[in-house]
Amino acid sequence: MVQLIICEDQTIFRQRLVSEIEKYIMMSQYDIEIELATAYPSEVLSFISKKPARRIYFLDIDLQDDDYDGFSLGKVIRQYDPRGFIIYVTTHDELAFETFKHRVEAMDYIVKDEAFYFVKQIKECLDSVVTRLSSELTDDRHYYTVEIFSAVHHVPVDDIILVETVHSTHRVLLHTHTQSLEFFGGIDKIGEELGKGFFRAHRSYLLHLKKVKSVDFKERLVFLQGGIICEVARAKKKELRAALNKLMHQSKELVD
């Protein structure tokens, strides 16, 4: 069961959202339930802080609240539910572009003004959520979550090649085959979170053992996929050799 929350301070639109969503859920036989429909952001945050879960959120952008508009509410929701589905509702279609500025990683936005498209977009958003959730059930990859200026990135662990410290204090650079992400973090903690399969070759480098192409132990250089090169500390050479030999034997056993 996927829970859904609505935060819309105009009663007529809130009631309409509830009505249209409930009708479409029933018609499509989706395993979705409206858990909360409110005009108050504080109620949303109180609710999700007590019951953490991955949810669907329909949020009015232009909330008339002293503390939150839809964007600032979305940012706080992301702290509790980094992989939730946020859908913004607005009477001003130009505000949709503000979503990107606020880096909330919204799934979509719905414009209230035109009745037919309003209902059509609600249905399309729910269809999209169900499709994505269904595809995730067949995706057995593990993900590492990175937050950069309130934008949340879910990086497949298998795609990570190297994590390195940068000159700025408490910042790291995470390299994959397709991108490099810089964010606040400690390499010790990241190593614990990523777990086995990653090796601390140097105080500044955490490498993915499966991404190692070759090692020059004399020069103390590790050559990784993607053309990435990192150092290996002198005290770590023996341990790295043992870890790579162990990985090679494990791979051979799987093939046999």
Domains of the chain: 2-137 (3.40.50.2300), 143-255 (2.40.50.1020)
Q: Does 252 have pLDDT greater than 60?
A: no
Q: Does 255 have pLDDT greater than 60?
A: no
How confident is the model over 196-219, as pLDDT tens digits? 899 999 999 999 999 999 999 999
How confident is the model over 90-130, as pLDDT tens digits? 886 655 555 444 455 678 888 887 777 889 999 999 999 99
In sequence order, what are the residues at sequence separation of 6 or more whose Cβ sits closer than 8 angstroms to the Cβ of residue 116?
none
Where is average pLDDT lowest: 78-82, 149-153, 210-214? 149-153
What per-residue confidence (pLDDT) applies to 93? 60
Mean local confidence (pLDDT), 227-233: 94
Q: Does 251 have pLDDT greater than 70?
A: no
Mean pLDDT of the chain: 87
How confident is the model over 155-173, as pLDDT tens digits? 889 999 999 998 766 889 9
Q: Does 150 have pLDDT greater than 70?
A: no
What per-residue confidence (pLDDT) applies to 21? 97
> Is there a contact between 24 and 33 (Cβ–Cβ < 8 Å)?
no
